[in-house]
Amino acid sequence: MFLRSLVRVLPRVPFGPALRHVSQSGPAKCPSVFGLSTRGGLLQHTASCRCGCGCGLHTESDHAFSEFLVEEIGQENKIKKHKKLPQISGWATKLNGTEVKILRNLPSETVSVTFNINNSIPPAYDVSDEEGKKDEDAEEVSGEDDTASPHIFAIRDVSFQSPQEPEWKETTYTLNTDMLDLALYDHLMDFLSERGVDNAFADQLVELSTAVEHQSYITFLEGLKDFIKS
């Protein structure tokens, strides 16, 4: 986003004597802006460098960025927990980019769980603000029911999807469980548990989703490194 905006803004800057002096005093290697161009609103490298070397790394920043990415990729690979993506016992896993679909075939039905790891990491919060609310939070917790839920996951909402309509529609009625009768909620949880969606499944799902997100991040860094060097 920053680079794309930079490419669009630069042509509007008046090319006065001061800017001409700066451009002439620097190394005259590639006249294009960082070797980048825009096509259809997307940031792209130019097809070839005008200086003829084709390396794409014409500034110290390019070299520093590339070296940083090499080190970052190496560090991420060192802390990678799984060489291969973990599998959930009794389930088949299908990947489509950042989308993961997990399938379990039962005698009379197929259970499908789909999730996307994009934007799955929560934003950082201000520790000082959190510490300032400790007393208030303690009072709220003390007044709550001490009965802990046996489940490590929760149902946020429920809707029905016809097999003839694979795409979910905004017009489909969705039941939010915040105000749902507890007995009905328990029946829904039992329904899922009997089909293998239980605490053990949730633990393995967290392990799988974390591994997919980490591998996607490494792949992103590798693609970014190739883009900088191309």
DSSP calls for 88-125:
-TT-EEEEETTEEEEEEE-SS-EEEEEEE-TT-SPPP-
Please give the structure tokens belonging to residue 1. 């986003």
Cβ partners under 8 Å of residue 171, min gap 6: none
- 8 A C-beta contact, residue 65 and residue 228: yes
Residue that has been written with the tokens 């792209």 in this structure: 44
Write phi, then psi, for 46 (nearest 5 degrees).
-65, 155
The DSSP H or E segment spanning 38 is strand 36-39
d(CA 29, CA 21): 16
Note down pLDDT in tens along the chain; length 230 residues. Answer: 323 322 233 333 333 333 223 333 344 444 344 444 444 545 555 544 544 555 555 688 888 999 999 999 999 999 999 989 999 999 999 999 999 999 999 999 999 999 999 988 877 666 555 555 555 554 444 445 555 678 899 999 999 888 788 777 888 889 999 989 999 999 999 999 999 999 999 999 999 999 999 999 999 999 999 998 87
Q: Is the pTM of this model over 0.75?
A: no
pLDDT of residue 209: 95
pLDDT of residue 132: 54
pLDDT of residue 3: 31
Structural domains of the chain in order of their starting residue, each with its CATH number? 1-15+24-58 (no CATH), 60-123+149-230 (3.10.280.10)
The end-to-end CA distance of the chain, in Å, is: 19
pLDDT of residue 122: 77
